[in-house]
Amino acid sequence: MSDLEIPNFPMLLMEPLISVPEESRVGFLARLERSAADRYREWAAESGDLAEGLIACADREDEIANRAEKLVPVWPEHEEIVVEALAKARALYAGAFEGHPLRDKIIIQAHAERQGSLAWLGFASQTDDAAMKQEFLTLAGLEVASAEHIDEALGVQTTSDA
């Protein structure tokens, strides 16, 4: 595992993210969370003994998406831009996992969760609304919970992605 190269997901996804108007970025990220949920479910079907935990991770991703969309949905006038940006982001994400065995894909995803938590922390730091700030902090915590589950299930030593 020591030679496993972990992508810098914020940099990898920067182009599609900045193509989305700021008012719809939370909703855009929510939709990316749904993609992660789908990935976890696919891996659960392949993984046998890890399946239950991966389903729990998928459920957390769906919870993140639901809560984020409730907070700040994609604006209707941005829908076409978001759909196009999502296609690009999903392709970039898929490339990060390509050619890796399942265990490494799951480890890469754990790093993506930790990196993704930083986005929610960033949104929390940018709002003065206490309820919204708390909700973004909750989203960050859900991301980290999945990463911690993966680390524990696979016996991976946690390293910082920050």
Give residue limits of the domains in the chain. Answer: 22-154
User: Mean pLDDT per 10-residue run, the chain (162 residues)?
Assistant: 82 96 97 96 93 97 97 97 97 94 96 96 97 98 96 78 48
Determine which helix (DSSP H) or strand (DSSP E) holds 67, and give its type and residue range. helix 51-71
CA atoms of 45 and 77, how far apart (whole Å): 37
The pTM for the full model equals 0.91
- Spell out the long-range contacts of 2-7 with Cβ–Cβ below 8 A and sequence spacing 24 or more: 4/100, 4/104, 4/107, 4/108, 6/108, 6/111, 6/161, 7/96, 7/108, 7/111, 7/112
Phi, psi torsion values for 71, nearest 5 degrees: -70, -55
Q: What's the pLDDT score for residue 136?
A: 98
CB 65, CB 19: distance < 8 Å: no
CA atoms of 76 and 104, how far apart (whole Å): 37
